[in-house]
Amino acid sequence: MATASHTRDLIVLGIETSCDETAAALVRRDASGNGTIMANLVRSQFSLHAAFGGVVPEIAARAHVELVDLLIAEALAEARLDWEAIDGIAATAGPGLIGGLIVGVATGKAIALARGLPFMALNHLEAHALTPGLTHGLRFPYLLLLVSGGHTQLLIVKDVGSYIRLGTTLDDALGEAFDKAAKLLGLGYPGGPALEEHAKRGHASIALPRPMLGRAEPHFSLAGLKTALRHEAINRAPLGTQDVADLCASFQEAVADVVADRARRAMELYIDALGATAQRTLVVAGGVAANQRLRAVLGSLTARLGFDLILPPPDLCTDNAAMVAWAGAERLARGLVDGLAAPARARWPLDPDAIPALGAGVKA
Ligand code: KG4
Ligand code: ZN
């Protein structure tokens, strides 16, 4: 992998449209590899999808079309920059909902073509993975646990463009499991924060399975846990407030046990792969990283195994365009530029050499 060769500041526009957030951001990367956010705008489409209990792809794509130009103009105004100051354009090209991806990629390419600027087609997972370089100046390598509504991955981040996927989910993403659990308990969408709130008043007294615990590969599987929760809820119907709280607490505790076990296994594999002297840092990103119980469990685990724990600030953990702009700047600095033929890709694994995880609905 080429080392950072740029000797001047680079300013990159980032565009994010892979799911239900439309986002545009401007980030400056200086010659020594440090980043500054100059503008970071996110418009959630939450209210457009809430009535459906999940994201509707066609509605999302249409909303991206309506918003993205406006947000880019706002970002430039907020950063007090004009197009002359921009060195490159980065847009999320996958993985994600294809309609939204096409909107972001087409917008980015059109600007790049019109302004004669380099274009970077970004992998959304790479943008999450590189965020601690922007937020904490963290250098490579490190271990990443990415847990959101769409992704559940354990990755060794070796360098820009160099990733080893240790674990993924065989079925639901972690946030998706929280959302489905919350939905079946009647708690609304997105369910993670609501479920955590109810769990505070509950006791983790209901026996639920801990899928994949102790398995050698740090994969996840959450569908069975969700089904077990459904059975327990049906057995107790009609559910009182305390029943709901106890079910939430029990579910959250089962998830926390699984996450701690899978992360512990990944830390062992990280040391096996990179050696005992490798930098020991675990980064946790994605919306589910907001969960206090998970934070506590991962805090004691990393302390026990001599790892530092880095949790980027919530607004940079969840989907945003600053991470896209930053990853684009990291790529641009290394000359890793894409042509205008780069496609939008609904599926795009970060580590193409990863041995496929055997399961019904593997996402990446
Ligand atoms: O990263 P994110 O904002 O969006 C993407 O999915 O890309 O993550 C959203 C997910 C949702 O599934 C939401 O329920 C979950 O993160 N989440 C939580 C909490 N806050 C958000 N899950 C558990 N506990 C929380 N406190
Ligand atoms: Zn994401």
pLDDT at 5: 54
pLDDT at 361: 52
Pocket (CB within 6 angstroms of ligand 1): 19, 148-150, 175-176, 178-179, 190-193, 196, 286-288, 290-291, 318-319
Instruction: Point out the ligand 1 atom lying closest to the alpha carbon of residue 179.
Output: 14
- Which of 125, 148, 252, 284 maximizes ligand 1 atoms within 8 Å of its Cβ, making it the mutation to test the pocket? 148
- Which of 195, 288, 315, 316 maximizes ligand 1 atoms within 8 Å of its Cβ, making it the mutation to test the pocket? 288
Q: How far is the CA of 189 from the centre of ligand 1 (A)?
A: 10
Q: Are the beta carbons of 154 and 144 closer than 8 angstroms?
A: yes
Query: CA 315 → CA 16, 251, 322, 323, distances in Å?
Result: 14, 26, 10, 10
Contacts of 197 (CB under 8 A, 6+ apart): none
| Beta-carbon neighbours within 5 Å of ion ligand 2 | 148, 319
Identify how many contiguous H helices and E strands the chain contains and give both numbers. 11, 10
Helix (H) or strand (E) holding 156, with range, is strand 152-159
Instruction: Point out the ligand 1 atom lying closest to the alpha carbon of residue 286.
Output: 1
Instruction: Point out the ligand 1 atom lying closest to the alpha carbon of residue 318.
Output: 1
Q: What residue ranges of the chain have pLDDT lower than 50?
A: 1-4, 360
Q: Are the beta carbons of 286 and 237 closer than 8 angstroms?
A: no
The CB density around residue 360, as the number of other CB atoms within 10 Å, is: 8
Q: Are the beta carbons of 198 and 190 closer than 8 angstroms?
A: no
Instruction: Point out the ligand 1 atom lying closest to the alpha carbon of residue 176.
Output: 12
